[in-house]
Amino acid sequence: MTDTTTEQAGAAASGAAATERFRSRIASAAAGSDAERVDTLVTALLTATHDIIRRHKVTYEEYNALKAWLIQVGEDGEWPLFLDVWVEHVVEEVAGESREGSKGTIEGPYYVPDAPALPAEATLPMRENEAGIPLLFQGQVRSVDDGPLPAAKVEMWQADDDGFYSQFAPDLPEWNLRGTVIADGTGHFKIYTIQPAPYQIPTDGACGSLVSAAGWHPWRPAHLHLKVSAPGYQLVTTQLYFTGGAYVDDDIASAVKPELMLDPTPTGDGEHHEVTYDFVLDRA
């Protein structure tokens, strides 16, 4: 990956896009919590913060560094990135507690609704010579009581081989590696795509400063993002990873689960990998 690409696709560009996306899709709908709940949650958050300051004897220098950094997160548009990388996994854990079907995991900052509709057997929109090992991802969507779910919706999005998501990095076709696949009459789907590469969160913004200040690494393991749904059933938002891949045991976003691993097998010519993964949905 060239310096120019890295720079263009850096914190400012992807952060601004993710912030804008979030505002238009979700923020406006988030009104209306009652005062008692707000009091409970904000008081708990502040009390935890006060405890940390006392326990670790936080200095004015550190307090001011925190203030400057928080301001920078906003200026870089990196609130969606920060929250989805370091907080969302616990929200998802709580939200998924009582579901019996397929495991979910975090959505992350790069979902875009209404990707082009595709038939049950389809190739994700991609460039003519899209880099990466071709991957056939296939499976079936069923209900918890085991019946197939005809015409289930399998929304899929992923980074390209350089770790860039369309609509969040420049110079990519609008719907590159994004699609809404409609399963067939027995809930089956067959999606041709490419095997994604590990993903590095932008290092040139406030989240990158935090990563290097703390001596962490900025990587997520290679992953496919999915939202699977059917009328009358709970939508599951999930990600799938690759057994043995880099960072599967050390995801910066803490979003890997043992149930979410794929182990594609090379087929015939060896230049194509294939894997089957079924989804099980809970009743709504």
The one of Fe ion, ligand MBD, none whose footprint includes residue 82, by CB under 5 to 8 A per kind, is none
Q: Which residues bind ligand MBD (CB under 6 A)?
A: 81, 84-85, 106, 108-110, 199, 201, 220, 253, 255
Sequence length of the chain is 284
Question: Strand pairing of 236-242 and 261-262?
Answer: parallel
CB nearer to ligand MBD: pick between 16 and 182: 16
CB–CB of 2/159 below 8 Å?
A: no
The one of Fe ion, ligand MBD, none whose footprint includes residue 201, by CB under 5 to 8 A per kind, is ligand MBD
Place of tokens 């969160």: 201
**What does the alpha-carbon distance between residue 148 and residue 103 come to, in Å, rounded to a whole number?**
18
DSSP code of residue 101:
S
CB nearer to Fe ion: pick between 108 and 139: 108
CB nearer to Fe ion: pick between 108 and 125: 108
The one of ligand MBD, Fe ion, none whose footprint includes residue 106, by CB under 5 to 8 A per kind, is ligand MBD
Q: What's the closest the beta carbon of residue 163 comes to ligand MBD, in angstroms? A: 8
CB–CB of 229/153 below 8 Å?
A: yes
CB nearer to Fe ion: pick between 21 and 142: 21
CB–CB of 96/237 below 8 Å?
A: no
The percent of the chain in helix, strand and coil, each rounded to the nearest 5, is 30, 25, 45
The one of ligand MBD, Fe ion, none whose footprint includes residue 84, by CB under 5 to 8 A per kind, is ligand MBD
Q: What's the closest the beta carbon of residue 117 comes to Fe ion, in angstroms? A: 22
Residue 108 as a binder of Fe ion (CB under 5 A): the answer is: yes
